[in-house]
Amino acid sequence: MKIPAHAPLHLLHQVSTGTLATHAREPHGFPYPTIVPFAPDAFHRPVILISRLAEHTRNLLGDPRAGFLVAHAPDGDVLNGSRATLLGLYAPVDPDQEAAVARRYLRYHPDAERYLALGDFTFWVLHVERLRYIGGFGAMGWLDGADLDELDSLADEEETTLIEAFERHPARPGALELAGVDRYGADLRIDGTRTRFVFDEPQSDLQTLHAVLADCIERYSV
């Protein structure tokens, strides 16, 4: 069946860890799954921060093809929850984008700053070619990576402007933080716990994004 792209898109913003499957070097070619923290980038692609010494990093250097599984089942019932398997090529983040990626990633995972300080961790991003989404019984299907988001993503400067305005809002509770924002929703941290505030409809410009973020603050300040 046809799957609306916003379903896997929101899923990628609802969870903080995923299962990365690479091709093992030894024994050669076998799937090598491991759990890693991730943050969605401006294009909703999973970005991971991994050590150069890790086995999965060495696997990716030999073969960049990878699978990435994310699942969201708050009640513990995985089969009736939502999940997506993304297929594509993992590659190091372009050097000219590293600063922006690091800022965004650390808003999602503040504790990761200690790993960056070690000096041997680098950011990798999955260039999604295909994905399989399952939203529960009878709700499943394939999507091309290009169909995940047909709107222009926010530039780093635009997102920074929105986050700074969010932080300055006089009604914002101190425990409410904005990790990231896109045209479909806002990723919040409330006392350190992640949640996704889904907009009623996609927002096309900064003015409307400021307005829906103000509504978000009002909802969580009650």
Average pLDDT over residues 26-37: 96
Give me the domains of the chain, ranges plus CATH numbers: 6-147 (2.30.110.10), 156-221 (3.20.180.10)
CB-based contact 38:126 (threshold 8 Å): no
Q: Residue type for 123, please?
A: F
Given a cut of 90, is residue 5 above it in pLDDT?
Answer: no
* pLDDT exceeds cutoff 70 at 2: no
| Torsion angle of the four alpha carbons 124, 126, 127, 128, in this order, in degrees rounded to the nearest 10 | 180
- The letter for the amino acid at 150 is E
Tokens 């978000």 -> residue? 216
The secondary element (H helix, E strand) that includes residue 211 is helix 206-221
pLDDT of residue 79: 84
pTM listed for this prediction: 0.94
User: What is the structure's pLDDT at 1?
Assistant: 54
Band of pLDDT at residue 139, cut at 50, 70 and 90: confident
- Average pLDDT (4-16) is 91
DSSP H or E run through 168: helix 156-168
* Amino acid at site 2: K
Q: Which residues of 35-54 are buried (b: 16+ CB within 10 A; e: fewer)?
A: ebbbbbbbebbbbbbbeeee
Coil/strand/helix, residue 37 = strand
Mean pLDDT of the region 124-133: 97
Quick one: what percent of the chain has pLDDT higher than 70? 99
pLDDT score of 142: 94
Within 10 angstroms of residue 124's Cβ, the number of other Cβ atoms is 22
